[in-house]
Structure 1
Amino acid sequence: MATALLLSFAVLLLIGVLISERAHRTVLSTAVLFLVGGFLLGPGAFGFITVTSGDPIVSGLAELALFSVLFTDGMRVGFRDLRTAWRLPGRALLLGLPLTLALTAVFAHYLVGLPWLESFLLGAILAPTDPVFAAAIVGREEVPARLRHLLNVESGVNDGLALPIVLILLAAAGGSNAHGEELLLEIVLGIAVGVIVPVIVLGLERLPFLQAIRSMQPLLAVSIGLLVLAICQATHANLFLGAFAAGITVATLGKGLRHDFEQFGELVTELLKLAAIMVFGALITPAFLFGDIPFAGWIFALLALLIARPLALLVSFIGAKLSLGEQVTAMWFGPKGFASVVYGLIILESGIALADQIYHLVALVIVLSILSHSSTDVVIARRFARSQEGTAAGTKNP
């Protein structure tokens, strides 16, 4: 199985790299390539990849990928960024996130019939967003800077904000051996490890006889991440919150290190994400989508994408100085990111009574999100570009 997975990933990666320039200009998407490729190569189609949700490689890859995602997300949003430009992202995070969670829970309860506890658990899993599936929005200069900053900071922080809620609700649903004080200890210890390790390492690096040369600077951040991962596993601290706290701490205390690590870290994280998306695609079968999910589940998935986040952000942006186009773009580009994939796998392995039903709904929303958001990002970016060109032309010819 390992050989088949490696060969499949290598081929898909090669194709993804070769079409990346065209994908940057069209509706083609690397994420969709790996999702569809995993589906076609998996048991639901050609059967070249044979994986199940209980395979160690699935949980191990998902865990490592999410750790990397949260570490790099934290590196994007140091405390200075949050202090200097917090107003718009704060609206999306402190009001938009809980409203999205609540609306999703309401849809799950009344449409699918989930109990309230499991409905809020599903809402917490699907609340985080990920701009990787809408890269043309956050990576294009023609898109207004405040909109790119809003989506970038929001997606960088909301994974970490949603995780404690997921853990607490999962424990309340009987899916964790850690209850009460033990769960709180795991969360607090994870955050503590994520702060203390970078502080010590960066303090040592500032000593004259221990400074790293410029070419090795990216590996300093990697070593911090690996130390946090190892210590969290050894102490049973929450390694995901440890990763997120470590990323924020490094971004805050080591601004130069953050810049040096940016490209290298993004590439490593992208590789892990794409591998996990391919495996996620291989877990999906036609029977999974059309036999195990009722019609009400499809209605729920559509409402979760088309109503929950847009309505939540519409309320959050009341009084905000955003144009209508910027508001609509922010409301639409709330792709369900990689964190939701891993949270769904955690639920599937948790042993709670409704784990299968929750996972099926999570998987459906993620699939629809990857297909829809990854196919519309370039279109929206071009619209902003045409708008800027029209404004520039009007300025020249009053």
Structure 2
Amino acid sequence: MSASLTAFAGVLLLAVLLSSLAHRTILSTAALFLVAGFVLGDGVLGVVSLKPGDELVATLAELALFTVLFTDGMRVGWPELRSAWRLPGRALGWGLPLTLVITAVGAHYLVGLGWVESLLIGAILAPTDPVFAAALVGNEKVPPRLRQLLNVESGVNDGLALPFVILFLAIASGAQNLHLGELSLELGLGVLIGVVIPWAAIKLEQTRWFSASTQYEPLNALAIGLLVLAVGKATHGNLFLAAFFAGITVATIGQRQRESFEHFGELIAEVFKLAALLVFGALITPSLLGSVGWQGWLFAILALVLARPAAIWLSFLRSGLSVREQAAVAWFGPKGFASVVYGLLVLGSGIAPAEQVFQLVAVTIVASILLHSSTDIVVARWFDDEREVPAWYGIVTRKMHRQE
């Protein structure tokens, strides 16, 4: 435990020191933690020694996913979803399930997995990660509708993919253990907890008897999140749906709480993300990367360059997006943090093909992080008008006008 904590602290400090450089170049903080975990793990140096069944792995996966789904939900309240649903609705309503199905077909026919396990992999790899789209979302020369599309989609699809992951994982664990009534109750209870607790807490603060000071305002949403987590664990409601709907509820009825928590919450979520990436990297060994065979690597590449692009192309037919915009949306479907944690959950689930599913998810995420984190700035510059026209063109044009 102490070695893992020391390793994380050291890599985190290095990431902070290199963060300014990372924003200007193809260097990626996510890739840094993934590679650091791989090098420090049992497969290479053995500094961070972790096994899939370790309590640290399960606990970190649970807390990290809860935190990220809570902050993701807080990005998109119902008013934003209603006012900007046309393009994100295509990506989420058509693109997400199509990506899931195409990925599952690849896993079944290329790798030979059963249909349930293939659909589970499709659900794990369907969500996109907003981290790699940061260069696009933050570039003011990128069309606003494209930035809004990527922002809303990446904030919502983690939560939308979650029920599919839970369902296929439950089926894969054995039909005799699957009780749809219990599963529905767990999911419904999670949604109820996620809506009722934030609503009650925010309405309570809005009464004349209570008021949060400026200093403590950022802790309001944190306290709500912790209460949702505690009640969810005590009642066996689904923690992750509770987190996602709690974030949406805060964003919908507690604009002040949302704004005060935004920066603080992003930092907390980022710490958990990076810790999970380090652990994920430590569980990836050279033998794991070699054991998937050429079929596994071919599946990983096709999941990135075929599944998402084909799904987006079909989803955005006659949408009004330019070819360049569609290409950017299609390429920036990286497999990141949510897929990492879903993969860790499967690894600790005890299902028979858990290791094979994790291996395929792992190589796909590794390929995605390396490919997408090194191309985000390049793709963002497609929309830089100053780069579309060479500098010498303007100089020559001005000289010609002066001569006239």
TM range (shorter): over 0.9
Rounded to whole Å, the distance in 1 between the matches of 2:285 and 2:133 is 25
1:142/1:388 contact within 8 Å kept: no
Aligned counterpart, 1:88: 87
Match of 2:248 in 1: 248
SS at match of 1:45: coil
Q: How does 1:154-303 map to 2 (within 5 A)?
A: 154-174=153-173, 179-290=179-290, 292-303=291-302
1:208–1:390 Cα change, 3 Å: farther
Aligned to 1:364: 363
Whichever residue aligns with residue 375 of structure 1, its letter is S
Deviations 1:145-185 (A, max 9, x none): 21111111111111111111111111112269562100000
Greater mean alpha carbon deviation, residues 235-244 or residues 5-14: 5-14
Q: 2 CA distance for matches of 1:134 and 1:38?
A: 23
CA contact (8 A) 2:382 2:388 kept: no
Flag structure 1 segments of 5+ consecutive residues without an equivalent. none
- For residue 216 of structure 2, give the secondary structure of its aligned residue in structure 1: helix
Cα 1:391–1:165 change in 2 (3 A) is farther
Asked if the contact 2:280–2:344 (Cα under 8 Å) also holds between the matched residues in 1, the reply is no
Q: State the SS of the aligned residue for 1:210.
A: coil
1:387–1:119 distance in 2 versus 1, CA, 3 Å: farther
SS in structure 2 at match of 1:208: coil
Measure, in 2, the Cα distance between the counterparts of 1:85 and 1:348: 37
Whether 2:106 is the aligned partner of 1:117: answer: no
Q: Residue 45 of structure 1: CA displacement?
A: 1.0
In the alignment, the residues of structure 2 paired with residue 304 and residue 334 of structure 1 have an alpha-carbon distance, to the nearest angstrom, of 10
Secondary structure, counterpart of 1:46 in structure 2: coil
Residues of 2 paired with 1:214 and 1:87: CA distance? Answer: 37
SS at match of 2:209: helix
Partner of 1:137: 136
- Cα displacement string for residues 20-64 of structure 1 (whole angstroms, at most 9, x for unaligned residues): 111101000100110111111111111111111111001101110
After superposition, the C-alpha distances for 1:267-294 in whole angstroms (9 at most, x for unaligned) are 110011001101111111100101x212
User: Greater Rg, structure 1 or structure 2?
Assistant: 2
Distance 1:217 1:388, change over 3 A: farther
Say if 1:41 and 1:282, in contact at 8 Å, map to a contact too.
yes
CA RMSD of aligned residues (A): 1.8
Post-superposition shift, 1:337?
2.0
Q: Identity of paired residues, percent?
A: 61
- Aligned amino acid, residue 233 of structure 1: K
Tell me: CA distance 1:389–1:206, structure 2 relative to 1, closer, same or farther (3 Å): farther
Q: State the shift of 1:352 in Å.
A: 1.7
Amino acid at match of 2:334: P
Which letter maps to 2:343? G
Structure 2 unaligned regions, length at least 5? none
Shift of 1:101: 0.5
* Partner SS for 2:44: coil
Contact 2:88 2:152 in 1 (8 A): yes
CA distance in 2, matches of 1:205, 1:302: 50
Alpha-carbon distance between aligned partners in 1 of 2:136 and 2:166, rounded to the nearest angstrom: 31
Deviation string, structure 1 residues 273-332 (Cα, Å, up to 9, x no partner): 001101111111100101x21211111110000000000000111011212111101000
Query: Deviation of residue 140 (structure 1)?
Result: 2.6
* Residue 390 of structure 1, CA deviation: 4.2
Quote the residue 2:381 is aligned against: 382
* Aligned twin of 2:340: 341
Distance 1:388 1:248, change over 3 A: farther
Tell me by how many angstroms 1:209 deviates.
2.2
Distance in 1 separating the partners of 2:131 and 2:240: 19
Amino acid at match of 2:68: V
The residue that corresponds to 1:101 in the other structure is 100
One-letter amino acid of the structure 1 residue matched with residue 12 of structure 2: L
User: For residues 175 and 29 of structure 1, what CA distance do their matches in structure 2 show?
Assistant: 40
1:31 matches 2:30:
yes
- Distance (Å, rounded) in 2 between the aligned partners of 1:389 and 1:315: 28
The answer to whether the 8 A contact 1:51-1:282 is kept is yes
Closer/same/farther in 2, CA of residues 386 and 64 from structure 1, 3 Å limit = same
Return the alpha-carbon distance in structure 2 between the equivalents of residues 64 and 391 of structure 1.
Answer: 49
Per the alignment, in what secondary structure is the counterpart of residue 319 of structure 1?
Answer: coil
Task: Judge conservation of contact 1:175–1:350 (CA < 8 Å) in 2.
Answer: no
Q: Residue 35 of structure 1 contacts residue 280 of structure 1 at CA under 8 Å; is this kept in 2?
A: yes
In the alignment, the residues of structure 2 paired with residue 173 and residue 45 of structure 1 have an alpha-carbon distance, to the nearest angstrom, of 32
| Secondary structure at the counterpart of residue 215 of structure 2 | helix
* 1:63 equivalenced with 2:65 (yes/no): no
Specify the alignment match of 2:307 in structure 1. Answer: 308
CA shift, 1:387, in A, is 5.3
Residues 229-278 of structure 1 show CA distances to partners (whole Å, capped at 9, x for unaligned) of 00000000000000000000000001121111111100110011001101
Indicate if the aligned counterparts of 1:175 and 1:351 stay in contact, CA closer than 8 A: no
CA–CA separation in structure 2 for the residues paired with 1:378 and 1:215:
37
> Which digits, 9 at most, give the CA deviation of each residue in 1:129-149, with x for residues without a partner?
111133212223232221111
Partner residue in 1 for 2:319: 320
Distance 2:326 2:389 in 1: 20
Report deviation, 1:389.
6.8
CA distance in 2, matches of 1:102, 1:363: 19
Instruction: Provide the TM-score with structure 2 as the length reference.
Output: 0.94
Query: Which amino acid is 1:263 matched to?
Result: H
Give the Cα–Cα distance (whole angstroms) in 2 for the partners of residues 131 and 175 of structure 1.
34
Question: TM-score normalised to the size of structure 1?
Answer: 0.96
